[in-house]
Amino acid sequence: MRSSRSNGFKPFTASEARQFLHAASSDRLHALYELALRTGLRKGELLGLHWEHLDLKSGIAGIHRSLQRTRTGSPLEPAHLTRSFGRLLNRAGLRRIRFHGLRHSTATLLLEQGIDLVVIKELLGHAHIGVSATVYAHVRLRLQRDAIDALSTELGSPENTRAARSDGDESPPCAVLVR
């Protein structure tokens, strides 16, 4: 399977994300992992959360600070979280990704579910939509190809579908001038 991005990062698929959450269900950091994958929060944002920032009844988390490594005795050492995350991936039989990959997985899975890029931008806290659009352009191009392939199949033109392509072409859809 090809990589989704030129740097080789491939976010979790929905199946892998479910497998990860299942494996995390018995981990002492279960809530942190759930929150990471379900919200796309950064590691520092997760580690900076306090119980008073969470409204479990309404499902709202207020992000007021980001924890950074500046002193000893911090509530949860970021390096410890990274090691625990790696052990959890091993136990789950999943490929190694960085903790930040959960954030990318969240955005990718939301895009694949048809969630608007503006909503994802706001959820991830990107300052400008251009950041979200650039980072997740590979997903949008794949979804565009899938949409065109689905329409081609529906219209009875199988020679235009990706499944019928013999060369494995993964180029983006072509622009067409319609007069």
Tell me, yes or no, whether 91 lies in a domain: yes
Specify the DSSP element, H or E, that contains 54. Answer: strand 54-55
Locate 114 and state its tokens.
């048809």
- Split into its structural domains, the chain has a count of 1
Would you say the C-alpha torsion 87, 91, 97, 99 has a positive or negative sign? Answer: negative
**Is residue 37 one of the residues assigned to a domain?**
yes
pLDDT digits (tens, 9 = 90+) for 95-150: 999 999 999 899 889 888 888 888 888 888 887 888 787 778 878 888 888 888 88
Please tell me the predicted confidence (pLDDT) of residue 112.
Answer: 87
Q: Has residue 175 been placed in a domain?
A: no
- Contact between 23 and 37 (Cβ < 8 Å): no
pLDDT in tens, 47-89: 877 677 666 676 655 554 454 444 754 567 778 889 999 999 9
Report the CATH number that the domain containing residue 84 is assigned in CATH.
Answer: 1.10.443.10
Q: Would you say residue 164 has pLDDT above 70?
A: no
